[in-house]
């Protein structure tokens, strides 16, 4: 669990901040994601049963060529944003 953190200006080809797969889980609470960049999934790229839970997080100015915030390529992925704000 990542709590009360800031992710600013990160970049990657898949998932500017997080990449999940094969039953891995990302959880973040009260965090800010600003200006992260990826080819696919500006903040999160999730595949093959990955999971993510974002609670009370702020997402602003994230970008990607495909899916500026979250990219999910498997219908079994579980991704939740609760009480978050996306600008």
pLDDT at 67: 96
Mean pLDDT calculated for residue range 67-83: 91
Cα angle vertex 78, ends 29, 1, to 5°? 25
pLDDT at 77: 86
pLDDT at 20: 93
pLDDT at 71: 96
Which residue ranges make up each domain of the chain? 2-86
pLDDT at 5: 98
Mean pLDDT calculated for residue range 29-40: 98
- Dihedrals φ, ψ of 37, to 5°? -140, 140
Q: How confident is the model at residue 72 (pLDDT cuts 50, 70, 90)?
A: very high
pLDDT at 82: 97
What is the CB neighbour count within 10 angstroms for residue 74?
11
């Amino acid at each position: 669990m990542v709590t009360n953190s800031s992710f600013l200006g990160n970049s990657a080809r898949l998932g500017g901040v997080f990449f999940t797969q094969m039953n891995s889980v990302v959880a973040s609470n009260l965090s800010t994601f600003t200006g992260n960049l990826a080819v696919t999934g500006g903040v999160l790229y999730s595949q093959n049963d990955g999971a993510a839970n974002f609670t009370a997080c702020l997402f602003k100015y994230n970008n990607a060529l495909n899916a500026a915030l979250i990219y999910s390529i498997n219908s079994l992925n579980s991704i939740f944003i609760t009480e978050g704000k996306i600008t």
